[in-house]
Amino acid sequence: MTALKLAVVGHTNTGKTSLLRTLTRDVNFGEVSARPSATRHVEGARLFAGDEAVVELYDTPGLEDALSLLDAIEALLAPGERLDGPARIARFLASPQAHSRFEQEAKVLRQVLASDAGLVVIDVRDPVLAKYRDELSILADCGKPLLPVLNFVHTPDNHAEAWREALARLGLHSVISFDTVAPEIDGEQRLFAKLAVLLDRFAPALQRLMLARQNEADARLHTATQLVAALLIDVAAYRVSVPNADESALQTPIEQLREKIRQHEAACVHELLKLYRFRTDDVTLSGLPMLNGRWDEDLFSPEALNQMGIRLGQGLVAGAVAGISIDLIVGGLTLGAATVAGALAGGLWQLGNTYGERILGKLRGYRSLTVDDNILRLLALRQLVLVHALQQRGHAAMQPLEPTAQLDSQTAKRWREGALPDELKKARSHAEWSAMSPAFSATETRDEAIKRLAKLFS
């Protein structure tokens, strides 16, 4: 079966190209700009269910001067002549003006005629002006089904209701609101469902598309939560041992540890952006609360904790060692937790057993640096907010997103205030679980811990 062809049309600057970016998840599609007439030519894109191209979308230049266009179309009628919509449009397209003054408009109308239906993108921040009514009646004259898409519906004091009324008067009763920058999670599903009603012969294909896209979204979320869980395990398990010198000698290893964790978070962010098909160098453009693929607040700053609503507990010492725990090594993880724990449990030390002595001798004089619980909470919350933002984000978004929006959720609350999950506690004594460590080994128990931890993000 051939793909459903949809012409995306409307007044200039209403978000047509943005809608295509969002539906194709392609931040590079076309040109999006706050200035009018960014799109000059018709440009197509396909939506697939597996290998099947289900929908072909055609972006078109914005309509600008509908009043004159309507006059020009009417001037082509002989006095008293009656022609139906499509015949009027056909006559206009055959006229010289369609190749000169109204060249842009003609491109739009030709594309509507060549398509199965039109998506009319409407900026509901604007009242229903006469020129917009004219535009709609010209588009309706093409004789194709039209589905109005109300854009900018999240803007306060918008005119969505007036638009719905005006559209109903033109016989357009099926309308969808879809904010191209911050579409609701089920936004595109609702869009395709409406199209399936409007164009029933395409309904089975649209169903396949909806299912495929739902599966893709689920798979993306699954991968995202695994990435975040792995980040947390890596960081919780990571530890470095340093000779037990005075405090000033700890400064360098502490800063190195911090930098390593920062980079590990940045790598995770990068993977998440890639997964959701946002560009790393484009994050400020995409409006995520971060700069150049990094969060704008440093992971080890009190501001970062504050931003995510984490209160400074006793675990977090202000100043030079913020975010890092320094312990005298007694568990001896550098030698392997099991060996030393065994040695201690067996009372080897008290017995003066030489083996135990040797181990403990090695341990004496070392300290271990690990990342504080609060930093784990912070990492969890930041990635939670990010994943949520990426799920929600249209691929046309340009404005900053409120980073705290997700912080009221139960999931966030648990990460902020609840006990740290057992998997992380367990990771503390498995240095080899950390992919940042030279001793890293991807064991089955680590994989299982990641799987269980990932569930805590959904």
Ligand X SMILES: Nc1nc2c(ncn2[C@@H]2O[C@H](COP(=O)(O)OP(=O)(O)OP(=O)(O)O)[C@@H](O)[C@H]2O)c(=O)[nH]1
CB closer to ligand X out of 180 and 374:
180
The reply to whether 151 sits near ligand X by the rule CB under 6 A is yes
* Cα–Cα separations (whole angstroms), residue 25 to 17, 42, 181, 356, 397: 12, 19, 12, 60, 11
Give the Cα separation of 212 and 46 in Å (integer).
Answer: 14
CB 387 within 8 A of CB 457: yes
3-state secondary structure at position 133: helix
Residue 34 Cβ vs ligand X, minimum distance, rounded to whole Å? 4
CB of 39 to Mg ion, least distance (A): 3
For the chain, what's the residue count? 458
Question: What is the β-pairing status of strands 176-177 and 146-151?
Answer: parallel
Rounded to an integer, what distance in angstroms lies between the CA atom of residue 152 and that of residue 15?
9
Residues that contact Mg ion, how many (by CB under 5 A): 4
Q: Is 267 in the site for ligand X (CB under 6 A)?
A: no
Q: What is the size of the binding site for ligand X (CB under 6 A)?
A: 24
DSSP state of 391: H
Is 118 a binding residue for ligand X by CB under 6 A? The answer is no
Nearest to 436 by CA among 228, 237, 299: 237
> Judged by CB under 6 A, which of 111, 115, 180, 434 binds ligand X?
180
Residue 401 main-chain phi, psi, to 5 deg: -105, 145
> Which of ligand X, Mg ion, none sits in contact with 223, Cβ below 5 to 8 A by type?
none
Which pair of tokens denotes residue 280?
Answer: 């790393």
Residues 6+ apart with CB under 8 A from 363: 329, 330, 332, 334, 335, 340
Which member of 22, 39, 307, 392 binds Mg ion (CB under 5 A)?
39
- 28 near ligand X, judged by CB under 6 A: no
Q: How far apart are CA 23 and CA 46, in angstroms?
A: 9
The stretch among 71-79, 265-273, 310-318, 395-403 that binds ligand X (CB under 6 A) is 395-403
Nearer to ligand X, 124 or 210 (CB): 124
The two three-digit tokens of residue 224, written as one number: 């995202």
Selected range binding ligand X among 32-40, 95-103, 109-117, 211-219, rule: CB under 6 A: 32-40
Residue whose Cβ sits closest to ligand X: 62
17 binds Mg ion (CB under 5 A): yes
Question: What CA–CA distance (Å, rounded) separates 314 from 286?
Answer: 37
- The residue written with tokens 């739009």 in the block is 108
Task: Residue 47: name its binding partner from Mg ion, ligand X, none (Cβ under 5 to 8 Å by kind).
Answer: none
Report the distance separating Cα 334 and Cα 439, nearest Å. 10
287 binds, among Mg ion, ligand X, none (CB under 5 to 8 A by kind): none
3-class DSSP state of 327: strand
DSSP 11: B
To Mg ion, the closest distance from the beta carbon of 13 in angstroms equals 8
Among residues 3, 4, 13, 293, the one that binds ligand X under rule CB under 6 A: 13
Residues 52-81 that bind ligand X (CB under 6 A): 61-62
Kindly state the smallest distance separating residue 49's Cβ from Mg ion, in Å: 26
Interface segment toward Mg ion; rule CB under 5 A; list 35-43, 419-427, 440-448, 450-458: 35-43
Count CB neighbours of 283 within 10 A: 21
Residue 39 in the binding site for ligand X (CB under 6 A): yes
158, interface contact from ligand X, Mg ion, none, CB < 5-8 Å by kind:
none
Q: Select the binding partner of residue 181 from ligand X, Mg ion, none (C-beta < 5 to 8 A, by kind).
A: ligand X
- Partner touching 14 among Mg ion, ligand X, none, CB below 5 to 8 Å by kind: ligand X
Residues that bind Mg ion (CB under 5 A): 16-17, 38-39
Residues that bind ligand X (CB under 6 A): 12-18, 32-34, 36-39, 61-62, 151-152, 179-181, 396, 398-399
